[in-house]
Chain A
Amino acid sequence: MKRALVIEDNPDNMELMRQLLEGEGYEILQAETGWKGVELATTAQPDFILLDIQLPDIMGTKVLKKIREHNECQSIPVIAVTSFAMSGDRERLLEAGCNSYIEKPIIPELFVNQLEKVLGESR
């Protein structure tokens, strides 16, 4: 069973993500802050990471950078989940090291399709 790390400060979003991913058969690790996310990413070795960009402690891009500093974490697919829906946001995030990008709000049927597509590509 694949393990997903969800770094998300909003409990509603976290719960939605949990139900959605567990419903699809994933094991889920939850981090409510950026730093906890970095810690879990390095210690728990998840199969992929869903990263919110607006976090209370550190920016999602910095979280990504900290994770990528660890060699063992360099290949873990990181998917940005953000409501930064402006043109260029996506590119900026990809450049920062994200593997993919999913816009909020999450539309369950699209999300699952997108997720499978991203994971398939990164494999």
Chain B
Amino acid sequence: MQSTAYFSRLTMNRQPGRTDSHGQPRLPCWVRFFLGLLLLGGLSFLLPSPVLLAQDKARIVRVGIFQNKPIIYQDKKGRVRGIYADLLHDLAKRRSWELKYVAGTWNQGLERLRKGEIDVMTSIAYSQERDRVFDFSHNNVLNMWGQAYNAKGSTVKSILELNGKKIAILKGGTNGINFKALCKKFEIDCLFEEVDSYSRVLQLTNSKKVALGIVNNFYGYENEDKYSVDRNPIIFNPFKLLYAVPEGMQQDLLSILDEHLLAMKLDRHSLYHQSLSRMLLEKTEASLPRWLVWSLLATCGLALAFFVVLLWVRRLRREIMARKQLEGYLLERTRELQESEERFHGLSESAFEGIIIHDKGHILEVNHSAAGLFGYERAELIGQQARILLTPESWEIAAQMIAAGSEDPYELDAIRKGGEVFIIELHVKQISFQGRPVWVIGMRDISEQKKAIEQLEQRTQELALTEEQYSTLFASAHVGVVLLDESGHFESANEQFQQFIGYNFDELRSMTPLDITHPDDVPKTREILSHDGLTEKRVTLLTKRYIHKDGTVRWGDVQSIQQTLSVSGRLLDFAIIVDVTEGKLAKEALQKANKKLQESERRLKESQHVAKLGRWELDLRSNNLEWSDEIFQIFEIDKNEFAATYEAFLNAIHPEDREKVEAAYTQSLYDRKPYEITHRLLMKDARVKYVQEFCHTEYADDGTALHSMGAVQDITAQMLVENQLKAANVKLKEMDRLKSMFIASMSHELRTPLNSIIGFSGLMLRRSEDLNELQTSNLNRIYRAGLHLLSLISDVIDISKIEAGRIDVFKEKFSLQELVEEAVDTVRPALDKKGLALQIEAATWPEMNTDKKRLSQCLLNFLSNAVKYSDEGQITLSLDEQGGFVEISVKDTGVGIADEDLAHLFKAFERLDTHLTIKEGGTGLGLYLTKKIAMELLQGEVSVESVLGEGSAFYLRIPMELPEKPKNHQREKQ
């Protein structure tokens, strides 16, 4: 049933651009065949058309053939046969061609045609792909379609069952290509076994190596018995069989073939139609509807019988002429007739249920079927009165009909040998010969049909009743009502259903519900349609998808009712379909939206999970507490063992924090304010976790607390980090304090022993008259080393303090003159020792308000350097006051500094590698410290100018009034 629908649906996919352009009436092939057949009997066979008589010069035409019985094939004796062969033989004869058949497989044929090794290929269908390499005839020889075969006992009934199955097809064959396309369209994934011949296809099918074998319908019908395979309900894609020639070649041949074919087709008596009918008669009844076959054969048989009778009557005439004893002669010749009868018996026996020939009620001849029909032996009837075979009433009717000369079939009540009355249908032909009527009667028992018709009528009546009953349903909007016939096809469908599905009733008539069902819903629909296990009544409800004619999906709520009517036993199979497409689509959209929502919820959950953020809700009216999974995880409580309770919550809290948490919540309810609290949880294994809780309570208008919602975040990791940070901070502060203490003790404790070293060695040197020269010299070394160590300690302490930002600036007012004099006093001994002159150039002595000690430190550094690095000459200290700044410069006439060294001058531990370096002690920190003091404490700057070998000049420029610098806190006076 289903395949019928595929057929009708897929016929729309026929080859493009292939329409009958010659204006031939578009009758289906079988109709043409049938019409031709009607005219067969007794009519002249060959009436050659003038167009076909044209002579062609001697020409060899190479024809590609393959085994495709009955269309084109080689028989066992090697003769080429089939309808193509008949046509080509005829044409060759007319054109004086010499036909050269080149036999091979289908694909070899195609290949040869492509290469031009043959001139024309037979039994070929059009395809766009082939059109690129071939030219096709305009007229078709045949229409054919794809027919599937299965091994005996196979259950495959629909294309939808083929997923993953193996299918045998002819390699490169149109049916195979079409079937592949069909499967693809239905998204069915089959494995294709491509073989070289149709016979191989059916062999594979028979041996069950494939689930289905695909051949063309003609080949299938011809060979299904031979290969013992079953015709499958799947048929598909009708197409035209044409001639093809290599592209751009043999164009004249193609037009001759076309012309010939057209002429043949137009002439109902042509060889073409003969060949076609012969071919179809041999083995095609099943390809046509049963009733048609029956009628065809009946008519055919009738016509043949008529013809035979004519011949027989001719003979009879000769006998009468000879013996002038017609009746006797007839009786005698009946036996002879039997011989000639043999020819048509084969046909008539199977075709007709009965043929009786009588003259004036005397039965002259009767066939076995007719005898059997009436329950007699053939011999019993011959010579009998025909009257005994009919009821008296029927005999009267028959007489009237004969009298009226009616040749239309009519029905009569017949009597069997046992007296049983049954109904026959008669076709009566009268042949008048020399004024004597001879009757040929074809008949069949139509009792069964009559019964069927009666049932049909009864059913129709029932239907009328039920229709009446359901007329309200039929009429009401949005409800479709369909009734199925016993074969499952639509017997009726109301307007609503037609609108719903887009097909009109004429179209629906040949369909079953499966044909308009969405492929996904076919299985459940099939289940409902099945009558298996059906008792009295079955009502099934389902929601399913239909495919509208326009291809869109329609949703229907189906109420399927299958009821066996008690009166007739007839099965009533109908359904009420409510169009719920809109609702469904809306629902689908809703589901999509829901899905999206679920997705976002899932994401939220995931992120909560990742963030270890738990959520709880407490309904204060029902006291129902709900925890999210994360809370169970944070509290390390098995969700399946413990319920979410306030007690479980309190138990998890660190005992020391319980009171605080409870108080916070109570207070929050009292204040009606959200709260936030961080507290600890004590785990079973004594681990401590930190959580942060946020809680918000909703209140009714009257102020009643409705429910609380809270979030719990596990912040253990953060707390650990925070604690570590705090510990580190404490440690750092402690270390800082220790460092300060260290620096303080450095400055005190190191000075105490230095006090003795410097003090006593200095003391002894003051009384050096008691010592010898060597003792004085050694003592001097100790004394100077002590002084060096002292300055080193002082510088290191100062630098570390400045770098730590911990040095205090002490701002005070003083006279610069005083400071300079103090500094000069300090270096005076060294100056005097070296014999260096010191010149001080100052126009005025400004009053300063800055850190005196630090300024003094800087000045002393400059001066001691000048002394240190000068062997002779003079040191000039000059002052310049300008715009609130004072610039103190110390120039010497010493060794000077190379340009490349100037850049490194103010860096820590940079000492210039000169001969003086070794001779003169120094920390290497002096200028670095000076620069730091000048810039960071006195908010000024230092610079240097120097010419190597000529001397250097160091400049210190500082504000006279040190600006307040909030950053540098000043020591409060105690």
Chain A residues near B (Cβ < 8 Å):
10, 12-13, 16, 19-20, 23, 54, 83-88, 90-92, 95, 104-110, 113
CA distance A23 to B757 in the complex (A): 18
B812 contacts the other chain (CB 8 A): yes
The residue in A20, A95, A106 that gathers the most chain B C-beta atoms within 10 A of its C-beta is A106
Which of B755, B762, B767, B786 lies in contact with A13, CB distance below 8 A?
A: B755
Q: Which residues of B contact A16 (CB under 8 A)?
A: 755-756, 759-760, 763
Chain B residues with CB under 8 A of A19: 760, 763
**Measured between alpha carbons, how far is A108 from B755 in the docked complex, in Å?**
10
Max chain A C-beta neighbours (<10 A), residue from B759, B809, B825? B759
A16 to B763, CA, bound (A): 8
Cβ contact within 8 Å between A105 and B759: yes
Among residues of A, the one whose C-beta sits closest to the C-beta of B829 is A109
Do A104 and B751 touch across chains, with their CB atoms under 8 A apart? Answer: yes
Q: Which residue of A lies closest to B744 (CB)?
A: A86
Tell me the residues in window 796-827 of chain B with beta carbons closer than 8 Å to chain A beta carbons. 807-810, 812, 825-826
What B residues does A12 contact at CB under 8 A? 752, 755-756
* Chain B residues bordering chain A, tally (CB within 8 A): 34
Asked if B487 lies at the interface with its beta carbon under 8 angstroms from chain A, I say no
Instruction: Tally the A-B contacts, defined by beta carbons under 8 Å.
Output: 83
In B710-768, the 8 Å CB interface with A consists of 747-748, 751-752, 754-760, 762-763, 765-767
Complex interface: chain A residues within 8 A of B758 (CB): 105-108
B262 interface residue (CB < 8 Å to A): no
**B854 contacts A105, C-beta separation under 8 Å:** no
- Cross-chain contact A86 with B762 (CB below 8 angstroms): no
Contacts A23-B767, A92-B973; is A108 near B759 (CB within 8 Å)? Answer: yes
B794's partner among A84, A85, A88, A107 (CB-CB below 8 A) is A85
**Is A86 touching B808 in the complex (CB atoms < 8 A)?**
yes
Query: Given A85-B747, A91-B810, A95-B973, are A105 and B754 neighbors across the interface (CB < 8 Å)?
Result: yes
Cα distance, A81 to B767, chains bound together (Å): 23
Give, as a whole number of angstroms, the nearest-CB distance from A98 to chain B.
Answer: 14
The residue on A at minimum CB distance from B756 is A12
Contact present for A83 and B973 (CB under 8 Å): no
CB distance from A115 to the nearest CB of B (A): 13
Contact assessment for A105 and B971 in the assembled complex, using a CB-CB cutoff below 8 Å: no
A10 touching B752, Cβ below 8 Å: yes
Which residues on A sit within 8 Å (CB–CB) of B759?
Answer: 13, 16, 20, 105-108
With A23-B763, A107-B762, A108-B766 already in contact, the answer to whether A88 and B808 are too (CB < 8 A) is yes
**Shortest CB distance A24–B (Å):** 9
* B762: chain A residues within 8 A (beta carbon): 106-109
| A84 to B: closest C-beta gap in Å | 8
* Chain B residues in 8 Å Cβ range of A90: 853
CA A87 – CA B760 in complex, angstroms?
A: 27
B755–A106 touching, CB < 8 Å: yes
Flag whether B787 is at the interface (Cβ < 8 A).
Answer: yes
Query: What are the residues of chain B within 8 A of A84 when measuring CB–CB?
Result: 748
- Separation in Å of the B766 CB from the closest CB of chain A? 6
B844 contacts partner chain A, Cβ-Cβ < 8 Å: no
Q: What A residues does B44 contact at CB under 8 A?
A: none
Nearest-CB distance from A35 to chain B (Å)?
A: 22
- Nearest-Cβ distance from residue B348 to partner chain A, whole angstroms: 144
Residue in B closest to A87 when the chains form the complex, CB atoms: B810
| Given A16-B760, A87-B809, A91-B812, CB of A104 within 8 Å of CB of B755 | yes
User: What's the least CB distance linking B808 to chain A, in Å?
Assistant: 6
A83 touches B809 (CB 8 A): no
Report if A23-B766 is in contact (Cβ < 8 Å); known contacts: A83-B747, A87-B853, A88-B808. yes
Q: Which 3 A-B pairs have the closest CB atoms?
A: A108-B762, A105-B755, A87-B810
Tell me which residues across on chain B come within 8 A of A92, comparing CB atoms. 973-974
B851 within 8 A of A: yes
Least CB distance from A44 to B in Å reads 25
Residue contact B794 to A87, C-beta cutoff 8 Å? no
Closest to B807 in A: A87
Most buried by B among A19, A88, A110: A88
Contact present for A13 and B763 (CB under 8 Å)? no
Question: CB distance B755 to A88 under 8 Å?
Answer: no
- A-B contact sample (15 more), CB < 8 A, given A88-B808, A107-B758, A107-B762: A10-B752, A12-B756, A13-B759, A19-B760, A23-B763, A87-B808, A87-B853, A91-B973, A104-B751, A105-B752, A105-B757, A106-B759, A107-B787, A109-B829, A113-B825
Q: How far is the CA of A91 from the CA of B786 in the complex (A)?
A: 27
Could you give, for residues 104-119 of chain B, a 1 whenever the CB lies within 8 Å of some chain A CB and a 0 otherwise?
Answer: 0000000000000000
What's the Cα separation between A113 and B767 when bound, in Å?
A: 16
Are the CB atoms of B973 and A108 closer together than 8 Å? Answer: no
What is the CA–CA distance of A23 and B762 in the complex, to the nearest angstrom?
Answer: 13
Q: Closest residue to B972 on the A side, CB-wise?
A: A88
Collect the chain A residues with CB atoms within 8 Å of residue B973's CB: 91-92, 95
> Quick one: closest A residue to B748, CB to CB?
A83
Given contacts A16-B759, A88-B810, contact A104 B752 (CB under 8 A): yes
List B residues 761-790 near A (Cβ within 8 Å). Answer: 762-763, 765-767, 786-787, 790
Residues of chain A contacted by B826 (CB below 8 angstroms): 110
Cβ contact within 8 Å between A109 and B809: no
Give the complex CA separation of A110 and B827 in angstroms. Answer: 11
Residue of A nearest to B794 (CB): A85
24 example contacts (A-B, Cβ-Cβ < 8 A) are as follows A12-B755, A13-B752, A13-B755, A13-B756, A16-B755, A19-B763, A20-B763, A23-B767, A83-B747, A83-B748, A83-B751, A83-B755, A85-B747, A87-B807, A87-B810, A87-B851, A87-B854, A91-B973, A104-B755, A105-B752, A107-B758, A108-B758, A108-B762, A109-B829
8 Å CB contact of A83 from B752, B765, B767: B752
Give complex CA distance A10, B748 in Å: 13
- Which chain A residues border B854 with CB–CB below 8 Å? 87
CB neighbours (8 Å) of A85 from chain B are 747, 751, 794
Separation of A84 and B745 alpha carbons in the complex (Å):
10
B317 to chain A, nearest CB (A): 164
In the bound assembly, the distance between CA atoms of A95 and B809 in angstroms comes to 18
A19 to B760, CA, bound (A): 9
How far is A86 from B762 in the complex, measured between Cα atoms in Å? 24
- B825 proximity list for chain A (CB < 8 A): 113
In the assembled complex, the Cα of A35 lies from the Cα of B810 at a distance in Å of 32
A109 to B828 alpha-carbon distance, docked (Å) = 12
Given the known inter-chain contacts A12-B756, A87-B851, A88-B971, please indicate yes or no for A108 contacting B748, CB distance below 8 A: no
